[in-house]
């Protein structure tokens, strides 16, 4: 998880996601969630493919329930693409990198 930024409080989420000048892939997850752990390597592939054009931020829904509630996260893993501080696409469930990339509307750089 070292290649990702953690946004486990509202202030960090605002800085890293809402104020970002590049698109942000947000992984809503929890430590106890097996499928969430399965999707981490897929997000590492996505981050590697897009380099600095996209940022990946992980939000632990247990540590940051305020943000999870604000975006009505009901199941995890939920992976959302934010542009200009707004969620524009969502992928729910553990999926391979290519499926996540397609659902979020991203194309490799």
Instruction: Name the residues annotated as catalytic.
Output: 33, 36
In 3-state terms, what secondary structure has residue 41? helix
- Cα–Cα–Cα angle for 37, 39, 44, rounded to 5 degrees: 105
Structure tokens at 31: 């430590």
Residue that the structure tokens 């960090």 belong to = 12
Q: Say how far apart CA 95 and CA 25 lie, in whole Å.
A: 14
């Amino acid at each position: 998880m070292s290649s990702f930024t953690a946004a486990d409080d509202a202030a960090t989420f605002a800085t890293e996601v809402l104020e970002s000048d590049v698109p942000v892939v947000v992984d809503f997850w929890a430590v106890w969630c097996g499928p969430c752990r399965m999707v981490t390597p897929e997000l590492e592939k996505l981050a590697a493919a897009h380099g600095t054009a996209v940022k990946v931020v992980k939000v632990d829904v247990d540590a940051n329930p305020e943000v999870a509630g604000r975006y009505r996260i009901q199941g995890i893993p939920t992976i959302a693409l934010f542009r200009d501080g707004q969620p524009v696409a969502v992928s729910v469930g553990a999926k391979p990198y290519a499926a996540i990339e397609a659902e979020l509307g991203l194309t490799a750089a």
